[in-house]
Amino acid sequence: MIQPDWQFWIKHIFNVGKGLLLMAFFFGFQPLAFAQGTVEICDNNRDDDGDGFIDAADTDCKQVNTVFLCSDAMYMLRLNPKNNVETLIEQLTIVNNTPDLTTLFTVKIVLNAIAYHNGFLYAMENNGRRIFRIDAKGNIVDLGAVQNLPQPNTQWSGATIDRAGNYYIIEGTQSPNYRLYKIPLLPGGTYAATQVVGTGQNGAIAVPNNPADIAIDESGVMYAACQANDVSTTNSGLYTINLTTGEAKKVGTLSFRGLSQGSLFAAADGNLYGYGTLEDPNFNQNKFYVWNKTTGAMTQIGTTGDAVGRSDGCSCPWRVAFKRRATGACITPNSNICWEFSINNKFGATIPEVTMNDTLDARFSYNFDVATVEKQLSKDFGKDVRIALSNANGGVNNVVTISNMRLPEGVAPFLLCAEVRPNASFNPNEIVFEQAYLKNLPEFLGNIEPSDFPLTLDPVKDPSPLSISPAFSAKATNSGPFCVNETIELFATGGINYSWSSPDGFGSNKQNPTRTNATKSMAGIYTVTITNAAGCVSTANTTIVVEDPAQFQAGLIKHSAIIFLRWQLPTIQRVRVNGQL
C-alpha cells in the first residue's frame, strides 16, 4: 500500500460542500486536443497561453495546490457545448435521489480518463501518454509521459483510482483491445504503467463492448459500464473486473438496448451511479442512473439538461464517515441515555492526531467513568487517547473532548452515556438534536467532519434526533387471588404495545390477556413491558396467587367463602330483622 505524502498532498482547502466527491468529464466526438493559447500548462517549459510567462512565472501556476474536497458534493467536468474547447467544472449534489448541478469554473483544455486522488483530479491526453493533474482552481500541471503505454494514438475510455493511489486507465478502441493499465501515483516521481492481464486477446479485458468507464467502490471491487455499439445492441450492461486475474463477469443477466453509459461513480454511500442514456440513436447523454450492484438493473434518477455525446467520470469513496445515533427510541426525564458513535475510515491509512468534540444540550450530563472509557477507546484509537469533560451553556459535564485519536482503517464504534439532569424540564414530545465533530482531519477530507444520521449524500449533515416523551408509567394488575381451575385475568394500562411474561414461560402481546384452568404452577410475578406512542418503554409487575378450592383456615378466608357470604348475608339479615320469612 502506498502511504500518502502529507507534505505534498495537503496544502490548502477548496471549500465547496461536504462529503462524497464525484467528478465526470464530458467531451464531443471530435479528436481531443489541447486548446492552443487558452491556458498555461504548468511544468512543461512552454508558454501555452502566449502571455510571455512560462510555467511557475505565469500567474496560472502560482497556486496549484488548492485541493478538491473528498466530500458528499459531487463534481462534474463537462465539455462546453457552445464551443467544444472549454470544460465546465460543476458541482453535483444528489438529495433524495434528485441531482442538481452548479457551475464552479471553466478549464480551457480537453482531457480524458478523469480520476480523483487526495484532493486532485488526474487525467490523460485522450490519444497520448501524458498525464496531468488539476487542482480546485482549475490550474493544470503536466506530470510528463507515462512509461510502458501503447502507441501515442491510443484512446483512453475511462479511469479510476484505488484506495492505495493506483491510477487505472482502460483502452476504448474496438474489441478485443480493451487493455487495462495500472499507474502508481508516486508524489514527485516518474509514472510507469503495468498491464492488468485479462483473459482476452493480447491480455485484454474480455468484455463484449466498449467499457466506457470504470470505477472501484469502497469494498475494492472494480465495475465497468459496457455500452452498446448501436441502438439495436443488447449485450451491454454492468461488469466486474477481478484485478488479480483480469477476469470480467457480467453482473446479473440484464442487458440494455442502445446503452450509452460514459460515466460511472462509486459513491461513498455504497451506491453505484451512472451518467448516459438509453435508445438514443445519437447517443446524447443527459440522464443520471443508479445501478443495482447485485442484479445489474438501472433506475433513472434525473437529468442534467444539456446533452453531450460522450462522457467520463470518477468518484471519491475514500473518506471518513461519522455517524451518531441514540441507542433508544426516546427518553423520559430522570433517565439515562447512551449515544452510539461510529467512525468509518475509508481513506486507506491511519489518520493521526484527530480530536472528537461533542457538546450536549445543557439538560444532559455525561456520567461515564473517564478512566474506564479511555481504556476501552485505546484499543481502537491508540494508547495516547485522552478524554476531558467540561461545562458549557449552563450545563454540567455536557462537553466531551477526545484527543490524540489515531483513526484506524475500517469501522470503529463506541458508546458514550449520559443522564438527564434532575431539574431538567422538556416540552411535550420535544425533539433534541445533537451533533458531534471530528477535527484535524486532512484538508482534502474537509478538516472537520460533522456527525451525520442518517448517513446520506446530502451535503447538509444531519444532527441526530432524540425524542423526549411525556413521562408515563406502566401499571399491571390482576383480578386474583385465584382458585385452581379458575381463569386468571391480567390488566395493563399506559402505552399502546404490550408484552407479558411469567416464570412458567407464559407470553402474550395482548393488553389484558387471560389464562384458563389455573394451576399452582402459574403463580408468581408477571411482568408487562409497555411501549407508548413515542416509542418509550416502561415495565410493571403484578403477583398472581393460585390456591386450592375454598376452605376456612385459621386467620384465612378463601376466595370462594367470600363469594358464599356475599350471597347468604342478606337472607340472614332479613330473618333477624323481620322475625319471619
3-state helix, strand, coil in the chain (%, to 5): 10, 45, 50
The residues facing 526 across adjacent strands are 542
The string over 242-254, giving b where at least 16 C-beta atoms fall within 10 Å of a residue's C-beta and e elsewhere, is ebeebebebbeee
Residues in the chain, how many?
581
DSSP-derived letter for residue 397 is S
User: Can you give the pTM of this predicted structure?
Assistant: 0.70
Rounded Cα gap, residues 403 and 455, in angstroms: 24
Name the residue type at position 6.
W
Closest CA to 74 of 348, 260, 241, 274: 274
CB contact at 8 A, 66 and 137: yes
Whole-number pLDDT of residue 190: 84
pLDDT tens, N- to C-terminus, the chain (581 residues): 333 333 333 333 233 333 333 344 333 323 233 333 345 677 666 666 666 766 666 666 655 578 888 876 667 676 666 666 667 777 777 777 777 777 777 777 777 888 998 888 898 886 778 898 888 877 888 888 999 988 767 788 889 999 889 999 998 765 567 999 999 998 777 899 999 999 988 899 988 888 989 999 988 999 999 887 677 677 789 999 999 999 999 999 888 888 888 888 888 778 899 888 887 777 778 888 999 999 999 999 988 767 776 678 888 888 898 988 887 667 776 778 899 999 999 887 899 999 999 999 999 999 999 999 999 999 999 999 999 999 999 999 999 999 999 999 989 999 999 998 888 888 877 888 889 999 999 988 888 898 887 655 555 566 788 877 766 778 999 999 999 999 999 999 988 999 999 999 999 999 999 999 999 999 999 999 998 877 778 889 999 999 987 543 434 444 444 443 333 334 333 333 333 43
Q: What is the pLDDT of residue 563?
A: 41
Burial class (CB in 10 A: 0-12, 13-18, 19+), 50: exposed
Three-state secondary structure readout of 41-69: EECCCCCCCCCCCCHHHCHHHCCCCCCCC
Vertex 335: Cα angle to 332 and 337 (nearest 5): 95
Contact 308, 285 (CB under 8 A): yes
CATH of domain 12-316: 2.120.10
Q: Which three cell numbers stand for residue 203?
A: 491480455
In this structure, the number of other CB atoms found within 10 A of the CB of residue 232 comes to 9
479 vs 139, 506, 516, 530, CA distance in Å?
82, 17, 13, 20
> DSSP string spanning 258-297?
T-EEEEEEE-TTS-EEEEEESS-TT--EEEEEEE-TTT--
What's the Cα-to-Cα distance from 220 to each of 4, 163, 364, rounded to whole Å?
A: 18, 8, 42
Unique residue bearing C-alpha cell 450530563: 365
C-alpha cell at 352: 493521526
CATH tag, 475-549: 2.60.40.10
Rounded CA-CA distance 126/92 in Å is 24
- Set of cell numbers at residue 218: 469502497
- How many CB atoms within 10 Å of residue 405? 25
From 153, 299, 175, 164, select the one nearest 248 (Cα to Cα): 175
SS3 per residue for 24-44: EEEECCCCCCCCCCCCCEECC
CATH of 320-468, one of 3.40.50.1100, 1.10.150.240, 3.40.50.880, 2.60.40.740: 2.60.40.740
In whole angstroms, how far apart are CA 464 and each of 389, 450, 456? Answer: 21, 11, 13
C-alpha cell at 182: 495500472
Q: Are 540 and 519 in contact (CB under 8 A)?
A: no
Cα 34 versus chain centre, distance: 38
Going from the C-alpha of 241 to that of each of 212, 215, 237, 397, the distances in angstroms are 14, 10, 13, 52
Residues 485-500 pLDDT 10s = 999 999 999 889 999 9
Pull the grid cell for residue 234. Answer: 443488447
CATH 2.60.40.10 domain range(s) in the chain = 475-549
Query: Grid coordinates in use for 362?
Result: 445543557
- Asked whether 210 and 233 are in contact (CB, 8 A), the reply is no
Q: Of the candidates 36, 103, 111, which has an alpha carbon nearest to the alpha carbon of residue 310?
A: 111
Using CA atoms, how far apart are residues 391 and 167, in angstroms rounded to an integer?
48
Partner residues linked to 55 by β-bridges: none
Q: How crowded is the C-beta side of 75, counted as CA atoms within 13 Å?
A: 35
Residues of the chain with CATH 2.120.10: 12-316
Phi-psi sector, 398: left (phi>0), alpha (psi -120 to 50), beta = alpha
Tell me which H or E stretch contains 566: helix 559-578
CATH 2.60.40.740 in the chain, residue ranges: 320-468
Rounded Cα distance, 204 and 207, in Å:
9
pLDDT at 191: 92
Q: What is the DSSP letter of 511?
A: S
Assess contact for 86 and 107: CB atoms under 8 A: yes
